[in-house]
Amino acid sequence: MTQTSARDTTRTSAMPLVHAVNVHKSFSGNEVLNGIDMDVAAGEVVCLLGPSGSGKTTFLRCINQLETIQRGRIWIDGELAGYEEKGGKLHRLADKSIAAQRREIGMVFQRFNLFPHMTALENIMEAPVQVGGVRKSDAEKRARELLGRVGLGERCDAYPAQLSGGQQQRVAIARALAMDPKLMLFDEPTSALDPELVGDVLSVMRELAEGGMTMIVVTHEMGFAREVADRVVFMDSGVVVEQGAPAEVINNPQHERTKSFLSRIREENEEYAAALVERAEAEKL
């Protein structure tokens, strides 16, 4: 493996941007990831599907080094995440080096986690100024650009409580982009939103994908997966069960577990749509 520093912009390695091999993670003896292998090429969009508890969040957290792993390895852009190899042995990197690696990855959670006492603009400027050493005026200019890009150019001075959930989530995406990540991880970014707010968040994500961002997206939004993903990966019980082109996996799943998951999601969506119609009608009365 070629040694590259976290700051290198040119990749000297032929590896995919994310190269995860045999990743094992357990919590007090309870094995949650059971040997995950996953490659994501630069510019690729992968949607990660799977039932609740299958380990999707844990896997994203391992990629972003919010969790340590017990076995296996993860390389990000050719660089071993969290460790360096010396004389055939792995040594944990210093916190500072891990923080530098983590800065290259943007993560957007189900709950937006914005700082409530800061405006949209201040939320986005915070990391570049405090962590990235960017001049305040430069960070502000960039933050305004990013807010424009997510359709919130007019709401720079709004506090999170003054924004809808969908707007807050778009601020959270802009905030993650402010550190110029190589990779964006999304963990069910629309599942806490009212349905009428989901579309705007998905549009921002679609544009990001079209702009060439490498993305791993955990989602139950099958329409998004079908239209935007290059590949869909279905996980269950801490293993990858099946993967392939979205149309193949979603329309023609090969494994029983994938089939039953997809039909459950379809039923839930139908029930949900029916409940919305009911609600809309009740509101009319």
Ligand X SMILES: Nc1ncnc2c1ncn2[C@@H]1O[C@H](COP(=O)(O)OP(=O)(O)O)[C@@H](O)[C@H]1O
By CB atoms closer than 10 A (0-12, 13-18, 19+), residue 154 is exposed
Question: CB atoms < 10 A from the CB of 68, how many?
Answer: 10
Do residues 108 and 176 make contact, with C-beta atoms less than 8 angstroms apart? yes
The sign of the torsion formed by the CA atoms of 13, 17, 22, 23 equals positive
**Which member of 5, 52, 283, 285 binds ligand X (CB under 6 A)?**
52
Q: Is 144 a binder of ligand X (CB under 6 A)?
A: no
Piece of the chain touching ligand X by CB under 6 A; list 46-54, 168-176, 255-263, 265-273 = 46-54
What is the residue-wise DSSP string for 241-263? EEEE-HHHHHHS--SHHHHHHHH
Piece of the chain touching ligand X by CB under 6 A; list 45-53, 99-107, 116-124, 261-269 = 45-53
**In the complex with ligand X, which residue's Cβ is closer, 50 or 246?**
50
Q: Which residue is nearest to Mg ion (CB)?
A: 57
Q: Is 32 a binder of ligand X (CB under 6 A)?
A: yes
Smallest distance from the beta carbon of 191 to Mg ion, in angstroms?
A: 9
Q: Is 55 a binder of ligand X (CB under 6 A)?
A: yes
Q: x/- contact string, 33-72, with Mg ion (CB under 5 A)?
A: -----------------------xx---------------
Q: Which of the choices Mg ion, ligand X, none does residue 5 contact, using the CB cut-off of 5 to 8 A by kind?
A: none
Q: What are the two backbone dihedrals, phi and then psi, of residue 37, each rounded to the nearest 5 degrees?
A: -115, 130
Rounded Cα–Cα distance for residues 147 and 132 (Å): 19
Residues found near Mg ion in the complex (CB under 5 A): 56-57
Residues found near ligand X in the complex (CB under 6 A): 27, 32, 50, 52-58
